[in-house]
Structure 1
Amino acid sequence: MILLDGKKTSADIKEEIALEVSELKSNEKKTPHLAAIIVGNDGASLTYVNAKVKACERVGFESTLIRLSEDTTEEELLNEIAILNVDKEIDGFIVQLPLPDHIDEQKILMAIDPDKDVDGFHPTNVGKMALNLPTFISATPFGILELLDRYNVETSGKNVVVIGRSHIVGSPMSILLAQKRKVGNATVTLTHSRTKNLKEITLKADIIIAALGIPEFLKADMVKEDVTIIDVGITRVADASKKRGFRLVGDVAFKEVSEKASFITPVPGGVGPMTIAMLLKNTLLACNRRNS
């Protein structure tokens, strides 16, 4: 069994990005600038955004963090987005999700300039992704493709089962892996909460991408020998034996499934670190477009 180490791979990608940024600086070209807007005080979101800011510093990016209060109106948020859309110093920006209930998430995502949408959530970028045109691929699916590529996991002609149909992970993964690309050319089955005989389907899979948000859902009796497992889920589970009172688990029962897998991502340390690395990669792409 080979562990698909997202922590190490993301560090490698950041080093590659840092070298490219250093080259941009030596050639007196614009260096990437990523901005993030966060509304409210959600603990997980704050931690994630702060990690993005630190990652920017590490690779030599400029970064801007815009913190807005929980009671910020939709109009005020749209105004902040409009300012970033026309700011020539900003190459890409994200609006951290989730947003407070009184703000229409879809309306906000639609307001972002597609050329600065480094999260890859705007319908223009989703459409280009579906047509296999150059665009920003959302960071988590992009990170999964990169992990499979760097560990030389063969996808061509393989049976892939994606569990979960979210717009952020499941749906784009099913499209990307079916496309004619280096990490692609697979036969993909997209499963979800209404799928019948799921175990029957997963037992035929060469590669399983679990992204449904149910802790330790995928068990050993649901997978065949030498399967490749990509675990996107991460959930806090109460554990009195831990100092923090909880442990982090994925959508896969790691201990039992890893005994049958040829490749598997750990949780934490698998897909998660790749997400920030690929956000940086998208921002570098946006900057290079502006420099060209």
Structure 2
Amino acid sequence: MIESKLTELLERTGDQTAVGPPPLDALRAGAARRRHRRTAAWSAVSALTVAAVIGGTTLLATQGSGDPSPPVATATPGLVPAGMRLVGLGHAAIAVPKNWGTNELTCATPKKDTVLIDVGAVTLCGMPRPVGVESLELGRGVPQVFDFHAEETLEIDGVRAERQRTTCSDEGNFLGQGTICTGAVFIPSLDVWFLAESSTNAEEVDRMLGRIVVEPDLVGVPGYRAIDRDGKQPTGEDYAPLLEQAGLKAEFRTRKSPGYPAGTIFTAVPAPGTMVAPGATVTITVAGS
């Protein structure tokens, strides 16, 4: 995609989605009021979660991505209890156990406890979700990957959010093997949504969504695999503007890779979803000619 087409796509997307600038002053005020309460609550939750969760750290290499990205890991361990990490987009993030994997999918179905972010293309096939598996997916824009409908409103660190209540159904597991419970949160002013799913019970979904936070002094590294290039692999030139929009810097490294078009992205470090300070540098490794 040439730069003019990318710009046109971004402008068209912006026209379709009415999202104002992040209310940073309100975010900082809300975060300051709630940080001490959050720390106490998470300390109890994380102790139970880390003991109960069994998950892998092996990454699934998405189609056409080359090398798998490193696991998403928060760059700010002081903000979350030991054993947990933050994963987010923009200024919205969620705490998950460190031993959860990232994009642990088989045929688009989570096989282990996992975070799903910047998944890219996956192969669809008949694969049931195992019992006792939790997953958290997050993305930008009005939720369209599932039938989101706001049923109640709440505040997260002083920021208004919309909540879709948790429901459980055997239909969620399309092979009819077990029950899937689902719940979601959308933060309109930050343009970020969170989808929690569990084949354990509804309480696990509510527990996961209760760990969403707003961090005005941090920003999540945006993803690149979902960039729309008419079926072609995204390039570093496609990705750099998204980093700039997030207030981050792009640094390029090249690797000779016969068979890959020049500029094809292999990895981004820190990985998408990592919470970093504004102005941080993201190193993009791309295929060289």
Q: What is the TM-score with the length of structure 2 in the denominator?
A: 0.30
**Which of these two proteins has the greater Rg computed from alpha carbons?**
1
Give the structure with the larger helix fraction. Answer: 1
Question: Normalising by structure 1, what TM-score?
Answer: 0.29
